[in-house]
């Protein structure tokens, strides 16, 4: 009987591992560094504020960097690693080439500030610094501040080939979005809340030109907005031309992104589909009508995102240089 119970427990454990492969969050806690580096959060916050004062791009660049990191092999700072020798790292995959350098620089500067404190030197992971910096940039742009779970280790690998198929694309429909987010333990509501990060930042014309030059025009696209986009993105435009994701309040973290969707002003197909598809429209309407509801859902979703694929002392390390494995 005892042997049977042992087999049953082992079987249930294996089932749990299969069902929940993306969350290894037991090691994470908001006070992880309380005795290791007690002033960590203030050190990072001050470094992020200094970077923010240099350029607003710090905000969307850092937020996007966190997302791109967590969706590929988990939140392990593998996106920060530079290619070397025969290894092409994640940051050099085609999907990551548009990541703004200011996001990387934010983490590098914050890491340097942390390591300048003897008690903290080489004790804090790059993955945790990125998670903290992400919270700080959201708050600097007027968004909610929130407690950040800490205790991640940095990944031991970073391969461009791992990025393929793991990041949402501008042309995705709702099923494709839900499938990708579900693979990371995130619900449709989480996905819609995290999409609200598009209230900040910019994109390049080639990422949505198919929408504004299709024949007939994408019916979900506001005609007046389409005309404005055509003027800003004429055919054969310089591919470096940047267009705000949110045409109304591009420097404020708010719920205007969802109000734009209600008016057909989502820049990407994957934005506008959240309102066009009846299955997600109610959530968009809810977030558009109540900024507190959006903020609460965003905090819950980005906290869950921060638990994806967390590394520990057995399959990770604390990098001394965030760009070197």
- Per-residue pLDDT, 16: 38
Nearest to 256 by CA among 195, 199, 192: 199
Answer yes or no: is pLDDT of 278 > 90: yes
Question: What is the per-residue pLDDT across 40-93, written as a single tens digit (0 to 9) for each?
Answer: 999 999 999 999 999 999 999 999 999 999 999 999 999 999 999 999 999 999
* pLDDT band per the 50, 70, 90 thresholds, residue 231: very high
Mean pLDDT of 298-315: 97
Nearest to 199 by CA among 149, 153, 265: 265
- Report residue 259 CA to chain centroid gap: 21
- Per-residue pLDDT, 7: 41
Helix (H) or strand (E) holding 204: strand 202-204
Active centre residues (catalytic): 68
**For residue 223, what are the contacts with CB-CB under 8 A and spacing of at least 6?**
217
Question: Residue 104 CB: number of other CB atoms within 10 A?
Answer: 20
pTM of the entire predicted model: 0.92
Q: CA torsion, points 242, 160, 67, 312, in degrees to nearest 10?
A: -160
**Binding-site residue set for substrate:** 168
List the structure tokens of 41.
């959060």
Sign, CA dihedral 312-166-157-204, equals negative
Alpha carbons 120 and 101: distance in angstroms, whole number: 25
Identify the burial level of 79 via C-beta atoms within 10 angstroms of its C-beta, where 0-12 means exposed, 13-18 middle and 19 or more buried.
buried
Alpha carbons 231 and 213: distance in angstroms, whole number: 12
Question: What is the per-residue pLDDT across 169-205, written as a single tens digit (0 to 9) for each?
Answer: 999 999 999 999 999 999 999 999 999 999 999 999 9
**Binding-site residue set for heme b:** 198
- Per-residue pLDDT, 1: 47
Answer yes or no: is pLDDT of 310 > 50: yes
- Per-residue pLDDT, 26: 63
Nearest to 75 by CA among 184, 195, 233, 164: 184
List the structure tokens of 159.
């391969």
> Which residue in the block uniquely carries the two structure tokens 């906290």?
303
> Which residue in the block uniquely carries the two structure tokens 């620089």?
105
Name the average pLDDT for the chain: 93
Question: What is the per-residue pLDDT across 98-147, written as a single tens digit (0 to 9) for each?
Answer: 999 999 999 999 999 999 999 999 999 999 999 999 999 999 999 999 99
- Per-residue pLDDT, 217: 87
**Binding-site residue set for Ca(2+):** 69, 72, 74, 76, 78, 90, 199, 246, 249, 254
Answer yes or no: is pLDDT of 318 > 60: yes
DSSP structure class, residue 245: S
* Residue 157 · residue 73 · CB < 8 Å: yes
Question: What is the per-residue pLDDT across 8-52, written as a single tens digit (0 to 9) for each?
Answer: 433 444 333 433 344 455 699 999 999 999 999 999 999 999 999
- Per-residue pLDDT, 240: 80
């Amino acid at each position: 009987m005892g042997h049977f119970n042992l087999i049953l427990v082992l079987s249930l454990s294996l089932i749990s591992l299969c069902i929940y492969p993306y969350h290894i969050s037991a090691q994470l806690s908001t006070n992880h560094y309380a005795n290791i580096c007690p002033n960590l959060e203030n050190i990072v916050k001050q470094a992020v504020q200094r970077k923010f004062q240099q350029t607003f791009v710090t905000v969307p660049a850092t937020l996007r960097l966190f997302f791109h990191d967590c969706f590929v092999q988990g939140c392990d700072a593998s996106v920060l690693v530079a290619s070397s020798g025969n290894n092409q790292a994640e940051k050099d995959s085609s999907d990551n080439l548009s990541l703004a350098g200011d996001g990387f620089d934010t983490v590098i500067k914050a890491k340097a500030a942390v390591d300048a404190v003897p008690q903290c030197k080489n004790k804090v992971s790059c993955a945790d610094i990125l998670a903290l910096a992400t919270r700080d940039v959201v708050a600097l742009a007027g968004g909610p501040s929130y407690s950040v779970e800490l205790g991640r280790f940095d990944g031991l690998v970073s391969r461009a080939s791992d990025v393929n198929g793991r990041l949402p694309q501008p042309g995705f429909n709702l099923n494709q979005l839900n499938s990708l987010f579900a693979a990371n333990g995130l619900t449709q509501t989480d996905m819609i809340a995290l999409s609200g990060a598009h209230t900040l930042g910019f994109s390049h014309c080639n990422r949505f030109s198919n929408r504004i030059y299709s024949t007939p025009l994408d019916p979900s696209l506001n005609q007046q907005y389409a005309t404005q986009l055509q003027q800003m993105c004429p055919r054969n435009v310089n591919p470096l031309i940047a267009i705000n994701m949110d045409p109304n309040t591009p420097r404020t973290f708010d719920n205007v992104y969802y109000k734009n969707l209600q008016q057909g002003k989502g820049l990407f197909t994957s934005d506008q589909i959240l309102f066009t598809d009846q299955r997600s429209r109610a959530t968009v309407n809810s977030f558009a009508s109540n900024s507190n509801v959006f903020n609460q859902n965003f905090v819950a979703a980005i906290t869950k995102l921060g638990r994806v694929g967390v590394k520990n002392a057995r399959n990770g390390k604390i990098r001394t240089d965030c760009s070197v494995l």
